[in-house]
Amino acid sequence: MTLKEHRSGYPVHAWESIRFNVNINGKKADKAVITQYFAESRDSELFRGFTLVSTTIAIYKLDSSKKTYTLTDGITRDYINFEKAGSEDELHDIFTIKDCKSLISDKTVTLAYKFECDSCVEFMKKRVYDLKRSLVDFILSKKISPLRIDNVQYNINGAQLEIEVTFLDTPNLQYIFNSKTMSISADTFRKMEKIEATSEFECLDQLSRVQNDIDVAIYRPSDFSCGYLTNFEDLKEDTKSGEPCSVYHFPLNNLRRIDQEIPLDSIHDAFRQYFGFSISYHSGNSRLAYKIIDVIDKTKNKITSADGFQSRIRVDAKLNGIDQVTVTVPDAKTLADCYRNCHNSEQLKCNIFSFCSNGDCRVSSLLTVNLYNESHVEQDKSCSIHAVNVINDYAEVPQRKFKTQVTTSVEKNIYSCAEYCHASPDCFSFQWCDYQCSFGGVYTDAVTEYDGECSIYLPKVSEKYQKTGNKIVSDVLYTEMNLNFEQCASLCHGWSDGDTGCKSFNYCPKSKTESSCSLTQFSVKSSNTKTIEGGDCSNYELKVESNGKKRKESSSTEVMKGTSGSGAFGIIVLFLFVGGLLGFTGPLGYAKVKQMRNALEVNESFNWTRQVNEQAENIN
């Protein structure tokens, strides 16, 4: 940057850059000299100490014979009242990708960066915005796009400043770039640098790892040819004899930058190596340093809305009302009411339901595959049958499998696998490896291992638990390392060791050390329970409902004023069950309740085979 006098008479600082073979307003320029003029300004909001007052672009043409450039054109822009159009937060909301449908997933990760400065608390409060900005700049220097930062919040606690940053997943390479179909000339193919790829997506994926600055990517589907050009001018179209290709243009040469993005599941580990990193400021003659003392994973599990929790599987039909595993629910006025009665039932392992325009709602423990048997169905043009998408009730642990399988594998799609697990009282989790489905026990890191083709799914139960406070239970039953909060809640929810169950759990999120999950048979709320201060760790218990019972312990539906369809359904099942015990209900009602609790017995086309021969063990 050099100091010059602007044509207006006041001194300015000039910042100059030279570009070759560029497009200026749609025209090719052999050379362009771009100069930005800055005047000193204490009130500038965009550039610290300066404001942009003018830009000039000088355009040159190359004389190949003389190897000299001749000035052919110039563009000048003056700026008056150059200021922010909105706050930084407002601009970030406009340009964020959180609503973009081309992300790898809708998952997020929230990391809390803890800073400490014993002697500068008041200064820290005054400069908290600058600290946020400095932290974000530091994050962006580590191969993370600014568009992936969804939210930044801060909290000051004594001498510590905690800044929470929420990260979005990476963009999906397969969908974020638009291609154009063109007939490419043979000369273009001769200039193209070629690599091997079996599909268009693989072509982009492979090219994103190339070190060169790629301007154009080309994929020819006729022979799976994949390649790139470093100069856009080498791309020639031949509409007569050229071959059709998918062409991607990267004017910013940013294809390789996409591959460098840190994956969401690696972000925390990437920043754990920067403990001790400090942000420094000068206050008078002293230097104040804010040091990162910890980075804590504070990711919260998202509760997906119920809108995507059901799918219509048959039209012009309803469930057979006399079927022994189907119950009619009164007062369900809408499809949503009927869905909730099925999904939220504690008395029935409900998998499918039917709803008619007249409000007829029927729920059943039948599986989707059972509908191939027409005896379970009645024809009715005003009705439709729906399946609860129970896969949404499970949390995925990708690239893991059980070291020892509980059951043999059966070929099933992921939705069917989830449905069978949901219907079985013996299934605490399930494993799915490329259409091979098997049941599993409670999930821990110790009983599983890495497998790139497999995922383990465990029930989502974290929303059933609530934080009890800042104290944790000191006397624990069992501790497991390297679990996230959802996995810890699932472990507690399914834990049973003889007469001992998990009443609450202590969870310490991942920070300098791995996360820890400790199960306990005690409640923090009990006066006899020994507790200690938790720090970054917290204790969680099952939520208490309005009837005073823990959610897991509740086994009947209470009658409330203006009984809903869900309440009436609970009453029906409860009366049938009690009546069966006392002997005055009909055999049909008793059979319904009995068979509702054993959903797997309905389906004779699918049987789980234990790997251990239990019959042989009994004989011996």
Task: State the angle between helix axes of 335-343 and 565-582 in degrees (0 to 180), rounded to the nearest 10.
Answer: 40
Q: How many CA atoms lie within 13 A of 229 on its CB side?
A: 21
Among 542, 565, 587, identify where a domain stops: 542
Comparing 415 with 285, which gets the higher pLDDT? Answer: 415
Comparing 165 with 306, which gets the higher pLDDT? Answer: 165
Q: Six-digit token pair at 109?
A: 């990760």
Tokens 């500068």 locate to: 120
Nearest to 277 by CA among 418, 141, 84: 141
pLDDT above 80: residue 496: no
Comparing 179 with 121, which gets the higher pLDDT? Answer: 179
Confidence of residue 436 (pLDDT cuts 50, 70, 90): very high
pLDDT at 579: 36
Domain interval for residue 418: 392-459
Nearest to 386 by CA among 343, 447, 431: 343
Among 459, 475, 505, identify where a domain stops: 459
**Which residues, 6+ apart, have CB-to-CB distance to 373 below 8 Å?**
none
- Shared domain check, 145 and 92: yes
Average pLDDT over residues 42-64: 80
Number of Cβ atoms within 10 Å of the Cβ of 513: 10
**Which residues, 6+ apart, have CB-to-CB distance to 161 below 8 Å?**
114, 115, 116, 117, 124, 128, 131, 154, 155, 290
Nearest to 111 by CA among 85, 144, 82, 81: 144
**Which residues, 6+ apart, have CB-to-CB distance to 164 below 8 Å?**
110, 111, 112, 113, 151, 152, 153, 154, 155, 298
Q: Looking at the 3D structure of the chain, how many domains does it have?
A: 5
Domain CATH number, residue 103: 3.30.70
Q: Tell how strand 448-459 and strand 377-388 pair up.
A: unpaired
pLDDT above 70: residue 460: yes
- Shared domain check, 93 and 164: yes
- Listed in sequence order, the DSSP H helices in 297-406 are 335-343
Range with the poorest average pLDDT among 122-126, 477-481, 512-516: 122-126
DSSP structure class, residue 266: G
**574-609 per-position pLDDT tens digit:** 333 333 333 333 333 333 333 333 333 333 333 333
In this structure, is residue 583 part of a structural domain? no
pLDDT at 558: 30
- Shared domain check, 450 and 433: yes
pLDDT at 299: 85
Among 542, 574, 602, identify where a domain stops: 542
Average pLDDT over residues 522-543: 91
pLDDT at 592: 34
User: What is the rounded CA–CA span in Å between residue 544 and residue 99?
Assistant: 35
In this structure, is residue 568 part of a structural domain? no
Nearest to 522 by CA among 573, 468, 594: 468
The chain-wide mean pLDDT, for the chain, equals 79
pLDDT above 80: residue 134: yes
0.75 exceeded by pTM: no
- Shared domain check, 111 and 58: no
pLDDT above 70: residue 50: yes
- Shared domain check, 167 and 266: yes
Q: Cβ-count burial of 328 within 10 angstroms (0-12 exposed, 13-18 middle, 19+ buried)? A: middle
Confidence of residue 218 (pLDDT cuts 50, 70, 90): very high
In this structure, is residue 337 part of a structural domain? no
- Shared domain check, 402 and 449: yes
Continuous segment of H or E residues that includes residue 258: helix 255-259
Continuous segment of H or E residues that includes residue 297: strand 286-297
Confidence of residue 81 (pLDDT cuts 50, 70, 90): low
| Per-residue CA distances from 488 to 298, 387, 423, 458 (Å) | 14, 29, 23, 11
pLDDT above 90: residue 531: yes
Beginning with the edge strand found earlier in the chain, give each strand of the sheet holding 193-196 in spatial order.
180-184, 243-249, 216-220, 225-229, 193-196
**274-301 per-position pLDDT tens digit:** 877 788 777 667 777 888 888 999 887 6
pLDDT above 90: residue 438: yes
Task: State the angle between helix axes of 565-582 and 587-596 in degrees (0 to 180), rounded to the nearest 10.
Answer: 110
pLDDT at 421: 92
In this structure, is residue 382 part of a structural domain? no
In this structure, is residue 399 part of a structural domain? yes
Range with the poorest average pLDDT among 245-254, 316-325, 528-537, 586-595: 586-595
pLDDT above 80: residue 117: no
Nearest to 390 by CA among 318, 309, 449: 309
- Shared domain check, 452 and 466: no
Confidence of residue 89 (pLDDT cuts 50, 70, 90): low
- Shared domain check, 127 and 269: yes
pLDDT above 80: residue 549: no
Question: What is the share, in percent, of the chain residues with pLDDT greater than 70?
Answer: 78
- Shared domain check, 402 and 515: no
In this structure, is residue 423 part of a structural domain? yes
Tokens 């169950």 locate to: 501
DSSP structure class, residue 550: B
Spatial contact of 24 and 35, defined as CB atoms under 8 Å apart: no
Q: What is the DSSP string of 47-109?
A: BTTEEEEEEEEEEEEEETTTTEEEEEEEEEEE-SS---SS-HHHHHHHH--TT-TTBS-S-EE
Across 4-8, 114-118, 150-154, the highest mean pLDDT is recorded for: 150-154
| Per-residue CA distances from 45 to 27, 50, 90 (Å) | 34, 9, 15
List phi, psi (to 5°) of 200.
-65, -40
Average pLDDT over residues 532-548: 81
Average pLDDT over residues 334-358: 89
- Shared domain check, 55 and 188: no
pLDDT above 70: residue 5: no
- Shared domain check, 157 and 28: no
pLDDT at 545: 59
Q: How many CA atoms lie within 13 A of 329 on its CB side?
A: 35
Q: What is the DSSP string of 434-482?
A: TTEEEEE-S--STTEEEEEEEEEEEE--GGGEEEEESEEESS-SEEEES
Spatial contact of 156 and 88, defined as CB atoms under 8 Å apart: no
pLDDT above 90: residue 355: yes
User: What is the rounded CA–CA span in Å between residue 587 and residue 130?
Assistant: 74
pLDDT above 80: residue 186: yes
User: What is the rounded CA–CA span in Å between residue 290 and residue 584?
Assistant: 75
- Shared domain check, 203 and 62: no
Domain CATH number, residue 184: 3.50.4
In this structure, is residue 479 part of a structural domain? yes
pLDDT above 70: residue 146: yes
pLDDT above 60: residue 547: no
Average pLDDT over residues 569-574: 39
In this structure, is residue 378 part of a structural domain? no
**222-239 per-position pLDDT tens digit:** 889 999 999 999 999 999
pLDDT above 50: residue 188: yes
The distance in angstroms from the start CA to the end CA of the chain is: 89
Domain CATH number, residue 413: 3.50.4.10
Spatial contact of 25 and 15, defined as CB atoms under 8 Å apart: no
